[in-house]
Amino acid sequence: MSKPSGSFQSSNVGIKSILAPPKPKTIHASDQALVDSENETSEMFTVEQMEYAWKEYALKVKREKKNSLFSTLNGSNPRVASDYSITIDLKNDIEAGDIDREKPELLGFLRHKLNNKKISLKYQIMESQKTGFVDNKSVFENLCKENDSLNKFRKMFNLDIEF
């Protein structure tokens, strides 16, 4: 009999192979130059160029039958900051979800079209005013706030506003 060597050769996955840290990849000088050139690509662009690319992407989305996303992109007013971040205003969380799902593809399209890898996308959800239940009484009261003489006429002519 032979003595155990303490190591077992197997092609199966074991705890040691899972817990072992991965070896760092070596990058050749030519590959490093490509990575650096991609990170530094940041050509200037005008607002008009960005809006044209934005509308072009919206039409692409329309052709793909993503009508909700098309409506969101078409209805938003993109603004560009000095750090190449594009900010849009959204109406609700549903639009935000659509943008989140489409964000990688949209950013890739804009970065390629405008030749600028520093472009980022942010959004704000705008709070809308809640409308309450409106009946005849509340409409008349609101009109009376604007014009006091309406209430005088109602009393003078003995008018009944369906209360």
In a domain, 97, yes or no: yes
Sign of CA dihedral 86, 87, 92, 96: positive
pLDDT-derived band at 3, boundaries 50, 70, 90: low
Looking at residue 52, its pLDDT comes to: 93
Where residue 111 sits, what CATH number does that domain have? Answer: 3.30.300
103-124 burial code (b ≥16 CB/10 A, e <16): eeebeebbbebbebbebebebe
Q: In this structure, is residue 58 part of a structural domain?
A: yes
Same domain assignment for residues 155 and 101: no
Residues 147 and 162 in one domain: yes
Across 104-113, average pLDDT = 93
How high does pLDDT run on average in the chain? 79
Query: pLDDT by residue (tens digit) across 32-68?
Result: 544 444 555 678 888 899 999 999 999 999 999 999 9
pLDDT given for residue 34 in this prediction: 47
Domain count within the chain: 2
Regarding whether 145 and 120 lie in a shared domain, the answer is: no
Q: How confident is the model at residue 82 (pLDDT cuts 50, 70, 90)?
A: confident
- Quote the domain boundaries for residue 81: 47-125
Are both 55 and 85 inside the same structural domain? yes
Say whether both 52 and 119 belong to one domain.
yes
Q: What is the pLDDT of residue 103?
A: 93
